[in-house]
Amino acid sequence: MNKIIVLLLLTLFSNSALSENQKEADKPNFLLIVADDLGYSDLGSFGGEIQTPHLDALANKGVKFTNFYSAPTCSPARAMMLSGMDNHLVGLGTQKYYWAEEQKGRPGYEGYLNNRFVTVATRLKDAGYHTYMVGKWHLGYDESSYPSSRGFEESFALVEGGASHLDQRGVIPKAAKANYIKDGKPVDLPEDFFSSAFYTDTLINNIESHRKDGKPFFAYAAYTAPHWPLQAPKAFLDKYQGVYDQGYGEIAQQRLTRMQEMAIVDENAVVQSTPDFYPKWNKLTPSQQAREARLMEVYAAMVDALDYNIGRLIEYLKKTKQFENTVIVFVSDNGAEGADPMDITTPAQPNAQWIPENFDNSFANIGKANSFVSVGPGWAGVSSTPSRLFKGFTAEGGIKVPAFIFSPKLARQSHLSHEFVSVKDIAPTFLELAGIPLDIASHNERPVLPMTGKSMLSYLMVQEDTLHGADFSEAWELFGRRAVRSGDWKMIWLNDPWGNNRWQLYNLANDPAESKDVFSQFPEVVAKLSKIWEQYVAQNEMVVVDKVDIQYTNGTSHYQHKMSSDGGLPN
């Protein structure tokens, strides 16, 4: 059945009948667009007030996923996208510098992409595709793990997990200069650099330089917006003045109402408040409220600018008549960012200062090249509406992300999908669309592990009504925080003060906010999920720490203890 679907779809993507020796030009192009720390409700098509018309048009015409799941943070998510496998197998069982003692030296915990698998870029390149990558890499810090060594023919990449968006200032941690590489070699940025615009220009140039040779392309557009530091050109900054003066609760409620009208969330969903140790809008002074509102204005400007530049990329594809033959996937790598960099420490860097020197975070300078601010947990909670918590957690707000897939040739069009989908499903979908076998036992005489994600092709072509089925199971773990799910049941383990250092059970069908722990009421469900969890740990060769020593604190000390003497929130 699947072979028939593939043949039918590839015929649709060509101008002539599919022959035994299919021409490379008949194969679809693939564009994977990744936003960095974008919240579930930020896009207009997902209920947000931010102006994102280009992404909204694609989302509303394609298949918009309301239950698309990624990983709690960026590196594990990106590893899963490029591998079609769980992050614990491919080297990102934890991020670099975040090792617990028990994890050091263990396979799967290298902190970079290991050699136990083959990236989707390599598989597509082997099959005759051009492969391009721009933006954030964050999957390896030496030449053997750069994009140029993992299947990308041309690449322009930020090596670290974040940097200034307007110059080459480094920020992780206290780096004087961010490390950028072009095709694996160090390179400096131009003086007029703005991340979202530069990455778009670079990718357009990559595609255009080979367009006339007839070969298809796979383009990985890994934008760094809206990851901190919050910075954007003035034209975008001015658009959102005053929009967020109403505060966290009012904006969240407006988003939720629109989400309900769009049927993205259930009509019984409610706005979730952040934990009590985070600030409440009505407890802030007027100057604190003004500063918080300005932070979100800059964040919105970054998302707006991201959409604008993605629009330029789409317009290029249309102008060059490549749009109709391109499969576009858009996804955020994880939930919204609620941490302040001042609070992030690791065992390897217990006294790290993640703030560049000579920065100016005065109110008037927020959003400019030498400012270094983040939105914090108040606005991250709004971005996660209506889910609980945000990036860094296995709660819904940390792992459920906005996502859609678009192609004029797919059978499902203008479809709102409530199917469970995993970020691991992207790579096998691309391979099957390209007519490439999903699993191989070896590559260049090196044994490799099979993909564990599932191709979406049959679902997208309306050959199947479901992707993973009602009884699917999935699990997540990072920094000791964990979750396991089967159908509507989800069991989650969070450390204090966000959890209680033990498993808790929720039914997402009637409690999507994970607010009513029913662990003691359903022992049979607990037993089932516990068995699934044990299998997940064994299959992925995991080392799970019971005590979370890694302090990814998500803003607790900053917002609870560090109110500045002048009444403004410190940064």
DSSP 61-103: HSEEEEEEE--SSHHHHHHHHHHSS-TTTTT-SS-TT---GGG
Other beta carbons within 10 Å of 520: 8
What span, in angstroms and rounded, lies between the C-alpha atoms of 536 and 495? 20
199 token code pair = 């990455």
Q: What is the pLDDT of residue 279?
A: 86
What sections of 84-172 are H helices per DSSP? 120-126
Listing DSSP states for 485-501 in one string gives: EETTEEEEE--TTTS-S
- Beta strand pairing call for 130-136 and 63-69: unpaired
Task: Answer yes or no: 138 catalytic.
Answer: yes
Q: Kindly report the backbone phi and psi dihedral angles of residue 74, in degrees, each rounded to the nearest multiple of 5, phi listed first.
A: -70, -50
Beta bridge partners of 493: 482, 503
Task: Answer yes or no: 558 catalytic.
Answer: no
Beta bridge partners of 220: 32, 133
Q: Which residue has the tokens 């053997």?
A: 144
Which of 54, 74, 130, 165 is catalytic? The answer is 74
- Tens-of-pLDDT digits for all 571 residues of the chain? 455 555 555 555 544 333 333 456 689 999 999 999 999 999 999 999 999 999 999 999 999 999 999 999 999 999 999 999 999 999 999 988 788 888 888 999 999 999 999 999 999 999 999 999 999 999 998 898 999 999 999 999 999 999 999 999 988 766 679 999 999 999 999 999 999 999 999 999 999 999 999 999 999 999 999 999 999 999 999 899 999 999 999 999 999 999 999 999 999 899 987 888 888 999 999 999 999 999 999 999 999 999 999 999 999 999 999 999 999 999 999 999 998 766 554 455 555 555 666 788 999 999 999 898 999 999 999 999 999 999 999 999 999 999 999 999 999 999 999 999 999 999 999 999 999 999 899 999 899 999 999 999 999 999 999 999 988 999 999 999 999 999 999 999 999 999 999 999 999 999 999 999 999 999 999 999 999 999 999 999 999 987 655 444 444 433 332 322 223 332 2
What 3-state class would DSSP assign to 557? helix
DSSP state of 167: S
Nearest to 23 by CA among 247, 214, 197: 214
* Phi-psi region at 414: left, alpha or beta (left = phi > 0; alpha = psi -120 to 50): left
Q: What is the pLDDT of residue 172?
A: 76
The answer to whether the CB of 119 falls within 8 A of the CB of 101 is no
Query: Dihedral of the CA atoms 81, 86, 91, 95 (nearest 10)?
Result: 80
Cα end-to-end distance, the chain, whole Å: 57
Which of 54, 88, 138, 165 is catalytic? The answer is 138
DSSP state of 163: B
Say if pTM beats, i.e. exceeds, 0.75. Answer: yes
Beta bridge partners of 327: 30
- Residue 144: CB partners within 8 Å, gap ≥ 6? none
